[in-house]
Every structure is written in C-alpha cells, then in structure tokens.
C-alpha cells in the first residue's frame, strides 16, 4: 500500500517519495459482492472507514440537533438559513488552502488535528446548553468553525485513500466511503432526533461529542501518507493546481456538476425541521423532532443503497451517465417533495433524494480522484470541497422563497434547478458522458 512513514512536512522545493508508484496494486475481485466490499479487507482502510463512520454519525446528529435547536430558539427561516450556511464561507475561503496543506504534510496528522477540533466544537455547545447560556450566535459560530475544520479535514481524508488502497481499488474505496456516510445518514438523524425529543439538546450534544472522540481514536491507527511531487510556495502550489484543472476538461466538468447540484440539492434537507412543522405540523401524523429524524433516516436508507450500487461499478460501466442520471433523479425527488400531498409521500421522495445523492456524491468524488494525478489530489479535492461554499446561494434563495411564498414553492424551484443542471451536462458535456 502507498505508505510513507515520514512525519516531517514537505518543505518548499523538496520532493516527497512517490508513494503511489511503489504501492503494490491489488487485482480487482471477480463477482459483484466480493468486488463491492474488497477495500475493507485492508486494515488501514478499515480504520479510516470506521473513523469516518463515527465522524459522519456525529455530524448528522449535529445537523438535526442544531437545526431543531435553532428553530426552537428563533422560529425563523432566516436564522435557520444563517445556521445552515455558516459553514460555507470558510469552506469557500479555505478549501483550496486545505488542499495545499493535504499535498504538503502528513495526511494522517492533518486528519487528527481536524478531528480534535470537531471534539472541541461539540464540547463548547454542550457546555453552553448545560450552563443555560446557549444562544443562536453560539450555533452560528459553531457552524463557521465546523466549516473551517472541514476545509482542511476533508481534502486530507479524501486524498489519503488512494495512498492506502492503491489505484485499482481507489474508486471502490471512495464509494465505500460514500456508503459509510450514507449509513450514518440512515441511522444517526433518527438517533439524534429521538435523543433530542426524549432527553433534550444537552444529551444530543453529549452523544455527538462521544462519536467525535471515538473517531479521533480510530484516526490514530492510520498510516502516515505524504503526497509525491515538487513543492513551491503556497500560492505557487495553488496556481499549479488551477492550471492543472483548467487544462483538463473532464476535471472541470466534474467540478462544475458538483457545484450545480450542491447549490440546489442540499437546501431542502437543511430546512426539513421547518418543512415538517409548517406543512405537516398541524396534522396528527406528524411528530416534530422524531419525524425529522425519521425523514432523514429514510433519506439515508436511499443513499446507502445507492452507494452500495456505485461501489460495485467497474470502470467502463458508463459511470458518467449514471452521474447525470442521479442529478435528474434528485431534481424529480426535490420537486416531488414540494408537491407531496401527505407525509407518507414525503418519505418516498426523501428515499429517492438519498438514492440520487449517493450517485452524485460518491460517484462524482470517485471519478474526480481517479482522473487526477496523485500529487494534485489534495488540492483538487480542496477545490471540490469549495463547491459547498456556494451553498448559501441556494439556501438563501430557498429561505427567501419560503418566507415570501411557501416552502413548497422553494422545493419546486430547487428541484427545477437540478433538472436544468442534469439536462445541461447530458446535452453539452461529452467528457462527462464518456466516463
């Protein structure tokens, strides 16, 4: 496997060992199920996968708890929007710098520092709740801090995977990573919603803290991995990565489709607490926090099944077309959520939203890491992470439409944006279609 045991960061002008070149490649297994879970036979990837599983579990519970707490404190769409987009500006500002750091220093060390910050973030909010000093601004600052951590943490987590499993299993490992995220989206929101409803926000944040601390323990089991290639100063590394991306039409297409879908697809999820309260809250079938948790769990079930399918895809299986198809399915599901006549139909549309989300997220990231050279993977992953920094455009529009007209209208507009994005890439971008 692609492991470099050096702990010192790569300095300007130095050349790190070409870890991917010396990695023994593993032959892709025959048989769908053996191929689907093959990367988990690697003990280092298992540690990374379990660490990610716990981190995403904490993040998904925090998403529910923070949204419910923000709504309980303010009952304002605008304030919920602020909490939802607080993480985005740091990711936009620091995303590329996080990628530069991931290509310069030990990626294991970077993961551990970021995970320690996640522990501290949850601990501060839990303390504020226990001392009855919690305000909406605590949640807003926590959202900003989380975005800053993710700008550095996620490029390291994504770019370390090829160095652990090798190029042949890279797409499989990235898809399994996405499957693990989906698994946590399946169970963690329901757990978070139920803990919040039965024991209150303090207990919910205690659970989030436990998940993040456990993730930190598993990250200590990872090997050290440092990217290959020559290093310049930070701005020089950034300009190199931008020129590299600009010369590669496939990379540009994958980055743009990630941007287009992120802007429209996540707003509906972020406003689920308000959606349930406003649309179904006056009916006997709706159950407040529990309903939000179960809706997100159904979303996660769809995402889990979608990721499982993606993990078993071979190269040459028209994966670009699957990526575009998942964008169309997202659009149909978000529009459907806007016109859902009863709560049961909202569950159905959330399932298909999750199914499509797996295709967009797991497949987009796997294809991107596959077509990028190892020395640029951290920086390109950082650029990819920046697309989350543009989420405020979609979220602010969603909040404005919800306040002016109705949250159902906002869902229809967001879904239409996804359909237009899918149509554009199907008709115009032949590089994505050929993947």
DSSP output for 304-322: HHHHHHHHTPPTTS-HHHH
Separation CA 231–CA 240 (nearest Å): 10
What pLDDT shows up at residue 95? 80
CB-CB contact of 299 with 357 (8 Å): yes
**β-bridge partners, 229:** 16
Q: Is the dihedral of CA 50, 362, 272, 333 positive or negative?
A: negative
- Predicted confidence at residue 17, as pLDDT, reads 38
Q: What pLDDT does residue 127 have?
A: 94
CA neighbor of 373 nearest in space, from 173, 162, 220: 162
- What is the reported pLDDT for 117? 94
CA distance 319 to 253: 14
Quote the CA–CA distance of 74 and 27 in Å, as a whole number. 55
* Helix, coil or strand: residue 26: coil
Backbone φ and ψ of 393, nearest 5°: -60, -50
CA-CA distance, 403 to 399, in Å (whole number)? 6
Q: What is the pLDDT of residue 230?
A: 59
Whether the Cβ atoms of residue 155 and residue 385 lie closer than 8 Å to each other: yes
Helix (H, G, I), strand (E, B) or coil at 231: coil
- Class in CATH terms, 42-433: mainly alpha
The CB density around residue 31, as the number of other CB atoms within 10 Å, is 9
Q: Please calculate the CA angle 99-102-106 and round it to the nearest 5 degrees.
A: 175
Q: What sections of 200-271 are H helices per DSSP?
A: 201-219, 234-247, 249-270
Query: Are 86 and 147 in contact, with CB atoms under 8 Å apart?
Result: yes
Mean pLDDT of successive 10-residue stretches along the chain, which has 435 residues: 36 37 53 74 91 90 85 79 76 82 86 93 93 90 89 86 80 80 73 86 93 93 76 74 83 84 77 78 56 79 79 72 88 89 86 83 79 80 77 78 84 89 85 77
Q: How far apart are CA 10 and CA 104, in angstroms?
A: 5
Gap between the Cα atoms of 430 and 427, Å rounded: 8
Question: Which three-class secondary structure state does DSSP give residue 15?
Answer: strand
pLDDT given for residue 229 in this prediction? 58
The span from the CA of 293 to the CA of 295, in Å, is 5
- The confidence score (pLDDT) of residue 239 equals 82
Taking residue 434's Cβ as centre, other Cβ atoms within 10 Å add up to 10
């Amino acid at each position: 496997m692609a492991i470099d045991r050096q702990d010192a960061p790569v300095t300007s002008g130095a050349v790190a060992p070409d870890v991917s070149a010396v990695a023994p490649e593993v032959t892709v297994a025959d048989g769908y199920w053996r191929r689907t879970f093959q990367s988990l036979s690697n003990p280092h990837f298992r540690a990374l996968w379990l660490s990610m599983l716990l981190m995403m579990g904490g993040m998904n519970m925090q998403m529910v708890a923070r949204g419910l707490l923000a709504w309980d404190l303010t009952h304002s769409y605008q304030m919920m929007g602020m909490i939802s987009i607080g993480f985005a500006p740091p990711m936009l500002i620091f995303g590329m710098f996080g990628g530069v750091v991931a290509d310069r220093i030990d990626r294991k060390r970077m993961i551990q520092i970021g995970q320690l910050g996640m522990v501290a973030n949850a601990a501060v909010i839990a303390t504020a709740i226990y001392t009855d000093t919690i305000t909406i601004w605590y949640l807003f600052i926590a959202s900003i801090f989380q975005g800053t951590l993710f700008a550095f943490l996620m490029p390291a987590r994504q770019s370390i995977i090829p160095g652990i499993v090798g190029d042949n299993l890279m797409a499989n490992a990235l898809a399994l990573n996405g499957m693990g995220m989906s698994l946590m989206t399946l169970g963690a929101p329901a757990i978070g919603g139920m803990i919040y409803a039965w024991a209150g926000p303090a207990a919910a944040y205690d659970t989030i803290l436990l998940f993040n601390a456990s993730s930190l323990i598993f990250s200590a089991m990872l090997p050290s991995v440092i990217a290959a290639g020559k290093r310049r100063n930070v701005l020089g590394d950034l300009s190199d990565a931008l020129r590299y991306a600009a010369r590669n039409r496939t990379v540009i297409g994958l980055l743009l489709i990630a941007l287009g879908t992120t802007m429209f697809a996540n707003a509906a999820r972020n406003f689920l607490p308000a959606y349930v309260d406003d649309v179904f809250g006056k009916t006997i079938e709706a159950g407040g926090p529990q309903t939000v948790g179960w809706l997100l769990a159904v979303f996660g079930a769809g995402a889990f099944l979608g990721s499982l399918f993606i993990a078993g895809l071979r190269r040459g299986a028209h994966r670009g077309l699957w990526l575009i198809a998942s964008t169309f399915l997202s659009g149909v599901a978000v529009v459907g959520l806007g016109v859902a006549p009863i709560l049961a139909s909202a569950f159905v549309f959330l399932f298909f939203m999750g199914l499509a989300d797996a295709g967009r997220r797991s497949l987009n990231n796997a294809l991107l890491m596959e077509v990028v050279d190892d020395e640029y993977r951290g920086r390109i992953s950082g650029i990819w992470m920046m697309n989350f920094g543009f989420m405020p455009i979609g979220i602010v529009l969603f909040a404005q439409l919800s306040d002016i007209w109705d949250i159902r209208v906002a869902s229809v507009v967001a879904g239409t944006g996804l359909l237009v994005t899918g149509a554009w890439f199907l008709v115009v971008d032949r590089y994505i279609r050929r993947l």
